[in-house]
Amino acid sequence: MTNHFPLMVPGNRTASPPRGVLAPYDGTLLAMVDTADRNVVEQALATACALYRNRDAWLSPVRRIDILRNVAKLMEDRAESLALEAAR
């Protein structure tokens, strides 16, 4: 079964068809990804702009550092599978 990656835009509705992601080595279908049309891109930009302007909702530097350390640990623990995916 092929992985499917939807758009990560709240309330998105796109008229654009999904696209296949092919392995450069042998053309194997790796995944299907949704694509954004103009309306979804505009919605994503408006959401990002509104979130950026609301600095009261930003994470504290301490929390951001904690998140980055956790991500680094996850990547370290999964280094082999990440390398295999990057090679695919």
Question: Does residue 73 share a domain with residue 48?
Answer: no
Which pLDDT does position 1 carry in this prediction?
63
Tokens of 19: 């696209």
- Work out the mean pLDDT of the chain and round it to a whole number: 90
Q: Quick count: other Cβ atoms within 10 Å of Cβ 72?
A: 10
Same domain flag for 52 and 62: no
Which domain range does residue 11 map to? 1-56
Q: Let me know whether 37 and 77 are in one domain.
A: no
Which secondary structure element, helix H or strand E, spans residue 53, and what is its range? Answer: helix 38-53
Residues 62 and 77 in one domain: yes
* Digit-coded pLDDT (tens) for 13-32: 777 889 999 988 899 998 99
Tokens of 69: 């350390």
- Chain segment 65-87, per-residue pLDDT in tens: 999 999 999 999 999 999 988 87
Specify whether 72 is located in the same domain as 33.
Answer: no
Number of domains forming the structure of the chain: 2
